[in-house]
Chains A and B, each alone.
Chain A
Amino acid sequence: MSDLEAWRAKAATWCEAMVPTFGKAARKGLGVEDDLALGRRYQKAKFDAGFAGINWPTDLGGQGLGHIEKITFEAEEMKHGFPSFYFSISLGMPVPVLMQFGPDREFVKERVLKALQGEEIWCQLFSEPSGGTDLAGLRTRAETDGNGWKINGQKVWTSWAQYSDYGVIVVRTDPTVAKHKGLTYFWVDMKAPGVTVRPIKLAGGDSHVNEVFFDDVKIGDDHRMSPVGGGFAVAIATLMIERYVATDSAGFGPHLGLFIDLAKEVQLNGRPAIEDGRIRQQIARNYAMRAGLDSINVRARRMMEAGMTPGAEGSLNKLVAVRSRQKLSELAIDLQGVGGFAFDEHASPKDDWASSWINAPTGRIAGGSDETLLNTIAERILGLPQDHRPDKGIPFNQIPA
């Protein structure tokens, strides 16, 4: 057994042992607050068992292992539906960025340890009402205020902000220069006076994203994590932290096996749906697509094991998988006829077709819409020209609103 296989086995064993306490069945029927409390205990258990901060430095409470060990653990973890998603943003981007750019090292260490143990949660304050895709077009501003800064404006789509203790934020500090050049990166205390968090209820019924308002929120200059005017580079670094994360060729929706089971159970025109050519075609096409993604991911893992950098094709995961999940979910509802109307707001998108369907659009938009990803592939990978950008090189305050 290779070291990695031994690691995988160890991870699998631990995850299995956690199922009774933290698995799907244990979480069934819990409200968000109780589920979050369970999540904090799960995160602490992970930390104690040596599965938190797997690829982070040991002097900050991490395990000092590689990215490959991290995604190997996550692939095992993903199988059981543990309450880990409250920490996915926090430990995914803001805390690693804090580790890299946080100016006060003692403060950083304290925060990282608390975040790793589930005691504190961080959010990422990037998107705004006037722009998600156009990150550099943001309008929330910070003005100098004595020795520090004063923030005013609004962020939106901020995941878990209502439960967050801290956040990283990009704001405009100079509107008289071109839009990318007038941004600065800070961390903020989410409990500071002037910060108001308002949850947004999404189509599927849950409210994990928020609007966040800043009214004269005062922060010290020691909160600054980039040079003044140098925030865009740190924002991009935040987004680039992990190109290969634990992936799911089902687009975080139901496994194809569940669709096949359904197609065997239900009848179309008096015959099992699994015998219907339209259904068979969809199964086959979906399988071929998902198998392709799986192979891309396996290849990427093998490359990382061999010390190489995986290719750009890893960028296809979200684009291809979530789109197909959306269509397959529609088809699964169709297959059930009027039986497909039944809807349980708390059902898991991993094993319930209606829940998968109604939540699928979020997956196609969050973290870059299909169209944004296609632009990225076209421009960065294939070398096609950039879109026409009339705001290029123009001072921010002269761009027509």
Chain B
Amino acid sequence: MSILYDEGQQAIATESRRALEARVSKDDLLPLLQTQGEYHQAFWSTAKEQGWTALALPEAHGGLALGLVELGLIAHQAGRTLSGAPFLTSSFGAAKAIELYGTDEQKAHWLPGLASGDTIGAIAFASGADPLPAKPAVTLTGDRLNGVAGAVSGGLFADVAVVFASGPALALVDLTSAGRTAVDSFDNSRCIADLSFADTPAETLATGEAARAAALHILALQAVVTAHEQTGGAEALMEIARDYAVTRKAFGQPIGAFQSIKHRIAELYGLVELARANCIHAASREGAGDFITAAAAARLSATEAYDTAARDCVQIHGGIGVTWEIGLHLHMRRARSLALEQGSSFFWEDVLVDRLAGDEG
């Protein structure tokens, strides 16, 4: 896989950007924040129609057999427009878990629906602060799952979840018979829910150390998609800041002529380009021995880029930047929710340093 996008890939970027800009507006997104348990239907139907849900899944199961590079390009555009649904990442993660670790029967049962987007997948690995806990809050005994998986993104609408359970084990669970409680969040469009299991039937995908390795791999795949989304968000904010700085005047000149402002935006350019470079590299390393390392680097630089861009873009706007109406807080919220969803920077820093220091494979 090359680190350069080819013509087909560039066409995917252009087309997805066009589709999203036509269908997603911040005015649709603002109301989602005040209502628990709603996601942006227009985004998700666009994703389904355009085949983005099928993109990185095998042809045998209704997929398009493209890869992380292409999905990343779309995630980047989704990040630019603040896509109001968490499923692009989580359904992909769930599908990859089934594709990589499931039986033929499980694949035949779940993958076509996940590929079409009619089935929604979720990943439930975290317990509290730990994205991949030593002692998971959910237990798998035989083929029954018990306990509560807290704050699962997309959990409110997911049909199927891949759960990291004590054992450790990676379990596949049909959520029809699971309990769900919506969690009120600073970014309600993520449809976060506590999923509760009481002797809920589940199937095992992996156990023991293999389960932990599988979970980390799935988390890394999702992290690369999310990192693209974060980079897209950061890039959009950098452009918003730039556009504002050339039009808004103070003391008789555009504020972008003040070095305190122009240097801040130039620094954002650096963060965005480093994150983009790491994202492209990580996506091109899928399947390689250093994939986790590359994913961690992408994740860390993308998180830094998006958070910093959100902070600085608001700052550059001054008072107008903190109003509900202008919507920069949508990016602020999304930057933080994406920073948490696939494991915080603390987690990825440790994953990365363990690898660099040779303490891990």
Seen from chain A, the residues whose Cβ lies within 8 Å of a Cβ on chain B are: 256, 260, 263-264, 274, 277, 280-281, 283-285, 287-289, 291-293, 295-296, 298-299, 302-303, 306, 313, 316, 319-320, 371, 374-375, 377-379, 381-388
Indicate if the CB atoms of A260 and B357 lie closer than 8 Å: yes
B320 within 8 A of A: no
How many residues from B make CB contacts under 8 Å with A? Answer: 43
State the CA gap A382–B245 with chains docked (Å). Answer: 11
- Give the residues in chain B near A296, CB-CB below 8 Å: 273-274, 277
Stretch with Cβ within 8 A of A (4 or more), from B15-23, B49-57, B197-205, B252-260: B252-260
Which residue from chain A places its CB closest to the CB of B301 in the assembled complex?
A288
B39 within 8 A of A: no
- Give per-residue flags for B1-21: 1 if the beta carbon is below 8 A from chain A beta carbons, else 0: 011100000000000000000
Indicate if the CB atoms of A374 and B266 lie closer than 8 Å: yes
State the CA gap A386–B246 with chains docked (Å). Answer: 11
The B interface is mostly helix, strand or loop, or mixed, namely helix
Indicate if the CB atoms of B350 and A280 lie closer than 8 Å: yes
Query: Which residues in window 330-361 of B have CB below 8 A to A?
Result: 346, 348-350, 352-353, 356-357
Tell me how far the C-beta of A198 lies from the nearest C-beta in chain B, rounded to whole angstroms. 34
B47 within 8 A of A: no
Indicate if the CB atoms of A384 and B256 lie closer than 8 Å: yes
Stretch with Cβ within 8 A of A (4 or more), from B78-86, B135-143, B214-222, B292-300: B292-300
Contact A306 B4, CB 8 Å, known A296-B273, A299-B280, A371-B263: yes
Indicate if the CB atoms of B277 and A295 lie closer than 8 Å: yes
Tell me how far the C-beta of B332 lies from the nearest C-beta in chain A, rounded to whole angstroms. 22
Contact A374 B281, CB 8 Å, known A260-B357, A264-B357, A288-B301: no
- Give the residues in chain A near B257, CB-CB below 8 Å: 384-388
Tell me how far the C-beta of B195 lies from the nearest C-beta in chain A, rounded to whole angstroms. 31
Question: Of A288, A289, A385, which one neighbours B256 at CB under 8 angstroms?
Answer: A385
Report the tally of A-B residue pairs with Cβ distances under 8 A. 137
Contact A287 B254, CB 8 Å, known A274-B357, A319-B270, A384-B246: no
State the CA gap A388–B259 with chains docked (Å). Answer: 10
- Give the residues in chain A near B349, CB-CB below 8 Å: 280-281, 283-285
B196 within 8 A of A: no
Contact A292 B297, CB 8 Å, known A299-B4, A385-B256: yes
- Give the residues in chain A near B265, CB-CB below 8 Å: 378, 382, 384
Indicate if the CB atoms of B3 and A374 lie closer than 8 Å: no
State the CA gap A224–B136 with chains docked (Å). Answer: 77
Tell me how far the C-beta of B137 lies from the nearest C-beta in chain A, rounded to whole angstroms. 24
- Give the residues in chain B near A264, CB-CB below 8 Å: 357
Indicate if the CB atoms of B297 and A316 lie closer than 8 Å: no
Contact A385 B350, CB 8 Å, known A264-B357, A292-B275, A316-B273: no
Which residue from chain B places its CB closest to the CB of A386 in the assembled complex?
B257
Which residue from chain A places its CB closest to the CB of B302 in the assembled complex?
A288
B278 within 8 A of A: yes
Which residue from chain B places its CB closest to the CB of A264 in the assembled complex?
B357
Indicate if the CB atoms of A292 and B256 lie closer than 8 Å: no
A-B pairs, top 8 by smallest CB distance, nearest first, are: A292-B274, A284-B349, A295-B277, A378-B262, A385-B257, A377-B266, A313-B273, A295-B281
